[in-house]
Amino acid sequence: MARFMTIGERIHVISPVIRKALQERDPAPILERAREQVEAGAHYLDVNIGPAERDGEELMPWVVKLLQSEFPDTPLCLDTANTKAIEAGLKVYDPKPGKAIINSADAGARIGMLEVAAEYGAMVIGLCAKEGIPRDNDERIAYCTEILDRAMAVGLNPEDILFDPLFVVVKGMQEKQQEVLEAVRQISEMGLKTTGGLSNVSNGCPRNLRGLIEAVFCSMAIQCGLTSAIINPCNKLLMDVIKTSEVIKGWNLYCDSYLEL
């Protein structure tokens, strides 16, 4: 039975430590972040190098080879809008631990990432958007369908697409949260896989509440059919909530041993 898939978000150029390490090709901080997430239970590691317009084609292969040399059993999610950098990373990626994930395609300027995924045998996150945040769920489902049609036309299996309805911040967009959860439900009822960035939901909220907000939203989204998420796996509360949600959903086949811990 399928399990909820967690994608660790902490190797991200927005972090000053990671940005400096990427610029200087310093392995230590990157490997430390990777180890923390793998030990916390992340199934995939997201590698966000930013736009990397100047050196992306050299940077992405470097970090892919670095991580796979140290964590050969952990697959990677390659995260940049730079198509050439994605392709360069996929050329050196070893798929033994699992298919790489491209983060991401959309129904607009980045729809070409679907062809890249098909060419290299990768999975891909499909943002249900074209320009910015969709106005409503009618737009989300329209873009979802557009991505699905294009993906199938270029030879991608729908199983290899993770549809992201775009999670939005609860602070200032509280009224949109139920709409996003409903989008997860609708996409799931189409027989498709779903994902989203949990930190988007808590962005701008007090630090002491962010982990709680993400955990509660994730639990509600799992009930609506969410099958994966880009998360901070070092948030123990969140990881415990995910495991418990799996038990209640019937995804975790080791319920008795889990409840005895």
Region for residue 43 given its phi and psi (left: phi exceeds 0; alpha: psi -120 to 50; beta: otherwise): alpha
Residue 194 tokens read as 């779903």
Q: Are 59 and 89 in contact (CB under 8 A)?
A: no
Is the pLDDT at 161 greater than 70? The verdict is yes
Name the band, by pLDDT with cuts 50, 70 and 90, for residue 255: low
Residue 44 tokens read as 């995939």
Closest CA to 65 of 47, 51, 82: 47
Mean pLDDT of 41-45: 98
Q: Please, which residues have CB within 8 angstroms of residue 104's CB and are 6 or more apart in sequence?
A: 79, 110, 113, 124, 125, 126, 127, 164
Q: For the chain, give the percent of residues with pLDDT over 90.
A: 92
What is the Cα–Cα distance from 81 to 183, expressed in whole angstroms? 24
Name the band, by pLDDT with cuts 50, 70 and 90, for residue 250: confident
Cβ-based burial of 96 (10 A; exposed 0-12, middle 13-18, buried ≥19): exposed
Name the band, by pLDDT with cuts 50, 70 and 90, for residue 249: confident
Name the band, by pLDDT with cuts 50, 70 and 90, for residue 257: low
* Angle CA 238–22–100, to nearest 5: 60
User: Domain residue spans in the chain?
Assistant: 167-251
Is the pLDDT at 1 greater than 90? The verdict is no
Mean pLDDT of 59-84: 98
Q: Are 214 and 238 in contact (CB under 8 A)?
A: yes
Q: What is the largest CA-CA distance in the chain?
A: 52
What is the Cα–Cα distance from 261 to 258, expressed in whole angstroms? 6
